[in-house]
Amino acid sequence: MNENSVPGATDELKIETLLKVFGRRLGLRLVAGEQGIERTINSSDVHRPGLTLTGFVEVFTFSFVQILGNQEMEYLRSLEPERRRDALEIIYQFEMPCIIVTGSGRLLPELRRMADKYRIPLLRSEFDTTKFTHLLHFYLDDIFAPYLTIHGTLVDVHGVGLLVTGRSAIGKSEVGLDLVERGHRLVADDTVIITRQSHGLLMGRPPAILQDHIEIRGIGIVDVKRLFGIGGTRRQKRVEVVITLVDYDREFAYERVGDEDRVKTILGIEIQEITVPIFPGKNITVIAETIAFNYLLRIDGYHAAQEFNQRLIRRMRAPRLRPIEGDSRD
């Protein structure tokens, strides 16, 4: 597998960028602390400082995004003005990326004043706390996920993400185009950006400039979305099987039964890898579809090679019938 870069990840996200890129999706707006708009988020984790507001700061993870939900806000509203200011001073003494207040309740004026005083952005979202936290985690996990750029073609075949790899000019893009023509969906061609999600999945997507396009030698750049319609592409897909195309070698012992699974490790995650030798006249597209169907069968608990092996074992253990005397077939 040709890997064009080493694993990496985004190190930081400015609050200004968070608002510009995800503000509408998260229902976010800046209400105070504009002087600190250049502060950065350095982790996908978030924290709710309810315990910290009471004065317990020993385990306060102030480097995370701080979320004040209904519980924290109701607690602050229940305090006398002087005690409320003291409680807020406890958290504002730390260098936090920002504070986000969720829900539609009334915003306390002390929060605005301290945000401006300490130059810590105060953001507001009308979404409820659970929904907002889930969405924020989703976007931040993707931003801070380790990633790898791989030379290949990623196609969604019957719901299975097939990553086709191999040497340059071996026919990866042609396989991808043929699969799209047969009703499958192109995700990325030539350059595939793979990220490792927090739940242990590998997600593949194209660079923005290559979205919906494929390069075919002799033709050039092809706009798959315009040629085959909106159903011919998708923005991202989980990478589940790697198909490695190699030139046919008579001396090499290729897999014939399939009882031993080979795996490829990408960003610390093991996924199935199948090596397919190619030669003129071989229908790689049908083989790719078969690989996808076979993968789905395995998920459903059926392994063809293991089933065949068990059948052979049963046949060998079965008692043999003695031939009848005079049987001419002997």
149 has which bridge partners?
193
Active-site residue identified among 48, 113, 119, 151: 151
Active-site residue identified among 172, 185, 213, 237: 172
Tell me whether residue 151 is one of the annotated catalytic residues. Answer: yes
Q: Which residues of 103-142 are buried (b: 16+ CB within 10 A; e: fewer)?
A: beeebbebbeebbeebebbbbbbebebeebbebbeebbbb
Active-site residue identified among 45, 116, 178, 190: 190
Would you tell me how many other CB atoms lie within 10 Å of the CB of residue 321?
Answer: 6
Radius of gyration of the chain (CA): 28
Ramachandran angles phi, psi of 265, nearest 5°: -95, 120
Active-site residue identified among 106, 199, 250, 256: 256
**Rounded distance between C-alpha atoms, residue 86 and residue 81, angstroms:** 9
DSSP 278-318: E-TT--HHHHHHHHHHHHHHHHTT--HHHHHHHHHHHHHHS
**Rounded distance between C-alpha atoms, residue 282 and residue 286, angstroms:** 9
Two structure tokens written together for 128: 């409820």
Tell me whether residue 172 is one of the annotated catalytic residues. Answer: yes
Q: Could you list the active site residues?
A: 151, 172, 190, 256
